Amino acid sequence: MSSVLEIKNLHVSIGDRSILKGVNLIVPQGETHALMGPNGTGKSTLAYTLMGHPNYTVTAGEVLFKGVSILELAPDARARMGLFLAFQYPVAIPGVSVANFLRAAINARRRAANPQDKGIPVPEFRKLLKAKMELLEVQAEFAGRYLNDGFSGGEKKRAEILQMAVLEPEIAILDETDSGLDIDALRVVATGVNALGGPAMGVLVITHYQRILNYIKPDVVHVMYGGRIVESGGADLALRLEEHGYDWIKERHAEVAKEG
Ligand code: ADP
Ligand code: MG
Q: What is the 3-state secondary structure (H, E, C) of 71-99?
A: CCCCHHHHHHHCEEEECCCCCCEEEEEHH
Whether 258 has a pLDDT exceeding 90, the answer reads: no
Are the C-beta atoms of residues 205 and 218 closer than 8 Å to each other?
Answer: yes
Whether pLDDT at 21 is above 90: yes
Q: How far apart are CA 166 and CA 53, in angstroms?
A: 23
Confidence band for 183, pLDDT divided at 50, 70 and 90:
confident
Per DSSP bridges, beta strands 56-65 and 68-69 are antiparallel
Task: Among 12, 13, 19, say which to mutate for ligand 1: greatest number of ligand atoms within 8 Å of CB.
Answer: 19
> Among 190, 197, 175, 194, which Cα is nearest to 30's?
197
Asked whether residue 124 carries a pLDDT value surpassing 80, the answer given is yes
| Res 226 pLDDT > 70 | yes
Task: Report pTM.
Answer: 0.92
- pLDDT higher than threshold 70 for residue 54: yes
59-109 tens-digit pLDDT:
999 999 999 999 999 999 999 999 999 987 889 999 999 999 999 999 998
The number of the ligand nearest the C-alpha atom of 40 reads 1
Ligand 1: residue of 20, 21, 45, 205 to mutate (most ligand atoms within 8 A of CB) is 45
- 60, 11 Cβ separation under 8 angstroms: yes
- Total number of domains in the chain: 1
> Which of 65, 6, 32, 1 minimizes the C-alpha distance to 201?
32
User: Residue 140: which CATH number?
Assistant: 3.40.50.300
Contact 232, 222 (CB under 8 A): yes
The C-alpha R_g of the chain, in whole angstroms, comes to 18
Q: How far is the CA of 176 from the centre of ligand 2 (A)?
A: 7
The pick from 10, 11, 13, 14 for probing ligand 1's pocket by mutation, whose C-beta has the most ligand atoms within 8 angstroms, reads: 14
Which segments within 166-214 are labelled E, that is strand?
A: 171-175, 202-206
Reduced to 3 states (helix: H, G, I; strand: E, B; else coil), residue 25 is strand
Is the model more confident about 35 or about 213?
A: 35
Among candidate residues 246, 222, 188, 227, the one with its CA nearest the CA of residue 32: 222
Phi, psi of 186 (to 5 degrees): -60, -40
Q: What pLDDT is recorded for position 208?
A: 82
What pLDDT, on the 0 to 100 scale, is given for residue 179? 63
pLDDT confidence band for 177 (50 / 70 / 90):
low
Q: Which atom of ligand 1 is nearest to the CA of 46?
A: 6
**Average pLDDT value over all residues in the chain:** 91
Ligand 1 binding pocket includes 235 (Cβ within 6 Å): no
In the chain, % of residues over pLDDT 70: 96
Which ligand 1 atom lies nearest to the CA of residue 47?
A: 6
55-59, 114-118, 173-177: segment of lowest average pLDDT:
173-177
Residue 40: CB within 6 Å of ligand 1?
yes
Residue 88's domain comprises 4-258
- The band of 259, judged by pLDDT with boundaries at 50, 70 and 90, is low
**pLDDT band at residue 212 using 50, 70 and 90 as cut-offs:** confident
**Cβ pair 87, 174 in contact under 8 A:** no
